[in-house]
Every structure is written in C-alpha cells, then in structure tokens.
Structure 1
Amino acid sequence: MPTIMITGANRGIGLELVRQYAADGWEVLACCRSPENAPELKQLAAANGNISVHLLDVTNAQQRKVLAAQLKGKPIDILFNSAGVSGSWSAQGFGHCQAEEWLDVLHINVVTPMLMMQDFAANVALSERKIIANMSSKMGSIADNTSGGSYLYRSSKAALNMVNKSAAHDLARKGISVVLLHPGWVRTDMGGPNGELSVEESVTALKRNLANVTFADSGRLLDIDGSTIPW
C-alpha cells in the first residue's frame, strides 16, 4: 500500500487530498495542528482505516521532531506540503504591508516546507515513488505578475519556488523528485467564493499530475493542467 503524508489536512485542499487518496487505497498520514478541532478529518479517519491523524503544527520544531522519530524507517511515497496561509488580503497592497504579518507568511509558506523536507526526506527516499510536492501558486510566478499587489503571498510563493528548485538539485542523489503544484483558483477560505474550481475538481487534477510525475519533472512548477508555469 503506497503512503502519502499531508500537512494542513484538516480543511480545504488538504482535507480533500486525504479523502481522495484514502478512497483510492493509500495509507494517509494526515497532519494538522489541532486534531481535536478537526471534526471532518476525525470523521474521515473513523470511517476509513487507511487514515491516521497526527498532531503537527508545521512551525513547531518539537512536534516535527517527535513525529519524525515516530515515523523513522517508514517509507513515504509522497510528502505533500499543503499547509499554507495567504495573510490578510487587505494588508497586501502597496502602503499597507507590515513586517510582522509578512514574516509570519514567509515562515509558514517558505521555511516550514523546507524543514519538513529536511525532516522527512529519509522516509521519502525509502519509498517506491520518491516524490515531494510543495503547494505553490501561479501568483508566485514573476512572469505571470501583470497586476502587482499581493506582496506577502506572492513573495512567499516565489521564495518557495526557489527553495524547491534547490531541493530538487540536492535530493537528486537520493532519487527524489521535488515538484511544485499550482492548485488552480479554488473555492476555499483562501481562494474565496468566486474561484474557478471546486476543491474536488482541484484535488482530482493534482492527483493526476502527481501520478504522472517522473524524475525528469523534478524542479518544475506544474499548472493544474500539467503544463509548466514560467518562473
């Protein structure tokens, strides 16, 4: 049975990833910072024995250390760093950016995916598929930025893209593919009610892209249709 580890598994895209992968027969390590406040995730886990729920605030070094110790020697076919934040959209226009919130967004969207890769790359290397997927966004593409604004979110995803590219080089010797995924504009708390895709549609496409990933794709930023988004 293949295994996927998903952060931010308590809501939105992360929760739907848990639902669909478990339904497909995968073992799902569903990680979230407050399992006691994740009723939908707990309900899924109660109904499907493929799902195990793990306490993990990705910013908490001790929790990452404990979980890494618990999972030592366990193969993880896909590490999916889905946890992320946008920051307050009202504080992202020119003249409205503040350092504290910006640093929080950078910490969660850039630093913690890197730390997750460091902590669990050994597990991924033990697996058959050997894939790390980092949730990025077309909004992190400099080439795609034709509107300005969204400084906090755009800069965090652009930085994540560079982290991913370096990791793709550094983990190549372990045979690990490290890819970036754009989920599309999705109707979630982050994407808002006007998104083009439902959560179910987005995750179905993300799964299709991951199923087609090869080592040659390592370092790519994949659009929802599988094409490459320019940096």
Structure 2
Amino acid sequence: MDSLVVVVPARNEETRLPRCLAALADAVNAVEEEFGTDAPVITVAVVLDCCTDGSAGIVAGWPLVTALTSTAGSVGSARHTGVEHLLAGTDPGHTWVATTDADSAVPRRWLAVQLALAEAGTELVLGTVLPDAELPMGARARWQGQHALVDGHPHVHGANLGVRADRYLEAGGFSPVDSDEDVALVAALRALGVHECRTALIPVLTSGRLTGRAPGGFGGYLTGLVAAGS
C-alpha cells in the first residue's frame, strides 16, 4: 500500500473527538514505527456532518487532520464524502481505506494490523467493537453474552472497517443512508467475491451512550439491551 486514508464522520461530537483523534494519532505513529521507510502516506479526515457544536474547533487543534463539511445529515453520505475526497489523486489498487467513528477510540495497532493484512492479500477487514463504561454494567454483560469477539466473528461495524480502495469503488462505495451503510457496503463487496478477514485482534472502544447520532444505529441497539434487562 502506497497510501492509507482514514475517514471519521462526526455530528456534534466535541466531547468525544479528543479521545478519537488522540487514539488515531497513536495508531499513525505505530505504523511509522513498525513500517519505517515502507510506511504508506497516511491521511486522516473528519467529516463534520451538520455540526452545531464545537467539533470544528476540536479538529482544528489537530493540524495533521483534514476537516471536511457535509450538510447531508446522513452518516452514509459523510463517509462517502470523506472517502471520495481523500482518494483523489491516489492509486486505488495501492490505497487502503479505513473507517471509524468520532465517538470511538481505535487501538494502537489498528492501522498496522490492517496494513499487514492488506499486504498479505486481504481486501476487506472487519473488526470488532467494545462499548465503553457509558453503557450500564448489566447491559454490558448482556452485550458481551451476545457477541462472539473472536476471529471469524459475524459482525459489521463502520467504526472498525477497512477495505482496499479499488474494491471499495467497484462496490459503489458507501450509500447515502442514515444507518447500515456499513452493512450495505459489505454486502456489495461480498457479492464481488472479495477476500475478507474478520479479526478480533483490533477491537475499537466505542461509546456506550444510549442516544446515538444515527437512527437505528448502535445507540438504538444498546437501548434495546437496557430495556431487555428492566
């Protein structure tokens, strides 16, 4: 891979963006340390989607992060906008696309592991997520009981996804929808017969809040878990 692009959609995430961006900076440093002169050029973009809080100011404090704006009000459109912008001028066959969320924190080797898998021929990487302490303990226990966080897991999360750019473009990219844009993309990629890896090596810590930004998204699912235990 000559290039690696990271896209982060954000809507009013001023309180969580610092954690997200600090974790991404650590992940970028890990690539540079592990790959040395063979490290790809890495570009990170936060897509500020209909933000009315101080999210833009937070991103401005990270000079190596590109801030993009969207008025679509859709996480699928935000991801699509970010990827389209960052892929301009790259060679899609030698570019890796990674996506996470503004309320999430990636592990240090998040990018390094994806790059190693890409170099070995993997075209799609699907990782796992872990809800943080915002989710009540009982609901967290129920969540853990329903999720197999092992290699070969069945989960799809936009907060922990990577794909080779040429295959992403073949599949038509992220759809401009309010939720499940990640599921739709993976379905299209699988229809193309991509070589995928479902790994538990790089779990992403994500918000356990019950009021999410995307209708029908992860927050809604967690709300259901809480209700099931009441």
| TM-score, structure 1 normalization | 0.38
Higher strand share: 2
